[in-house]
């Protein structure tokens, strides 16, 4: 079983950590999350300068990315706090970075896939995207599932 089982953590139990989970749903990126994403994550934890990766400089405007990055930040805080139950760096890389980064940066299916070549593509609700597709004569993806 993974070290990253679902866990309910009281802020007091977490040694004073201010976890993002206590702020969900996020409507904007808190300053500490912005600092971590634009500092630690991009500077030290990702080497995704590959052609198959796509990042959006307006990542905080993508609610799905915002919540994935907040989850990653919470796990990073557990790692840095150490102590019983804290993940190792290896587990953080394998279970958090390796899991979430493709969902964020894949040019084919990542959250930022539509951003880049023509600039930022604003977030669209899935039901609006499906409705737009069906009015153009396409098959709604829900029918494909």
| 113 domain residue, yes or no | yes
Report which DSSP code applies to 19. Answer: -
- 8 A C-beta contact, residue 22 and residue 71: no
Q: Is residue 117 part of a domain?
A: yes
For residue 72, being part of any structural domain is answered with: yes
Confidence of residue 143 (pLDDT cuts 50, 70, 90): very low
The verdict on residue 78 lying in a domain is yes
pLDDT of residue 129: 67
- Residue closest to 111 by CA, chosen among 33, 55, 72: 55
Q: Which domain holds residue 130?
A: 53-144
CA separation for the pair 46, 128 (Å, rounded): 32
- Domain annotation covers residue 38: no
Q: Look at residue 135 in the predicted model and tell me its pLDDT.
A: 64
Total number of domains constituting the chain: 1
Give the SS3 label for residue 53: strand
123 part of a folded domain: yes
Does this model's pTM top 0.85?
no
Between 84 and 144, name the one with better pLDDT: 84
Q: Is residue 115 part of a domain?
A: yes
> Does 20 fall in a domain?
no
């Amino acid at each position: 079983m993974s070290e990253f089982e679902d866990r309910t953590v009281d802020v007091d139990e977490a040694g004073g950590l201010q976890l993002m989970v206590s702020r969900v749903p996020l409507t904007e990126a808190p300053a500490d999350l912005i600092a971590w994403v634009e500092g630690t994550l991009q500077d030290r934890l990702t080497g995704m300068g590959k052609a198959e990766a796509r990042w959006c400089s307006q990542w905080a405007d993508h609610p799905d990315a915002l919540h994935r990055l907040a989850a990653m930040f919470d796990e990073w805080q557990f790692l840095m706090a150490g102590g019983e139950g804290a993940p190792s760096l290896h587990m953080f890389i394998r279970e958090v970075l390796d899991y979430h980064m493709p969902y964020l940066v894949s040019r084919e299916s990542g959250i930022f896939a539509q951003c880049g070549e023509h600039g930022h593509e604003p977030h669209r609700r899935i039901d609006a995207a499906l409705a737009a597709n069906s009015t153009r004569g396409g098959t709604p993806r829900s029918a494909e599932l």
